Amino acid sequence: MNSRIRQMIALSVLCLTSLNSFAQQRIAVLDFELKDLTLAPGIPAEVERTAGIRAMLENGLIKAGYEVVPVSLEAQRRANAGVGYLFDHDDVAAELARKAGADYILVGRLHKPSFLFAYLMGHLVSVRDSQLIGNYISEIKGSDKKLTLKGVESLIVKIDNTLKTIKQP
């Protein structure tokens, strides 16, 4: 009977471990910042486009099989010491994601050096060790919503490729 109980316990532990290894990876996505270097920075259409990137990314990541963990705009603002701060400080971004219960956090920026194109930039940070595990850039030619979505889709493919090569936390 004693060995039977041990077998049951071992089987239970094995099942729980297996279930945990198949759990979805949890990603927090922050609002993207606009870094507009054009002669007319911060026009409303560009601000609106930048504000929509997070939702596009979250929807695409969900479709790719990831669990998106929400981070409130207020929590992001409290953690942010200035423009570009979270983009440049992986440890602070990781702590923000840790508090939200995520495994990874994506901090992004829309870098616009010209009216003709922009760069969708993202830093993927591992919460476990606060390390940058992905530095992504997708070029967007034009400001059309469809072109922005194509840039977001390109970013999702890059994130997915990175996370497929990493063991789950």
pLDDT string in tens for the chain (169-residue length): 555 554 544 444 444 433 334 468 999 999 999 999 999 998 999 999 999 999 999 999 999 999 999 998 899 999 988 888 999 999 999 999 999 999 999 999 999 999 999 999 999 999 999 999 999 999 999 888 899 999 999 999 999 999 999 865 4
Supply the range of the domain harboring residue 77: 24-164
> What is d(CA 113, CA 142) in angstroms, rounded to the nearest whole number?
12
Q: What is the CATH number of the domain that holds 122?
A: 3.40.50.10610
Quick check: is 12 in a domain? no
Q: Does residue 11 form part of some domain?
A: no
pTM (2 decimals)?
A: 0.82
The predicted pLDDT at position 33 comes to 95
**Structural domains in the chain (count):** 1
In a domain, 104, yes or no: yes
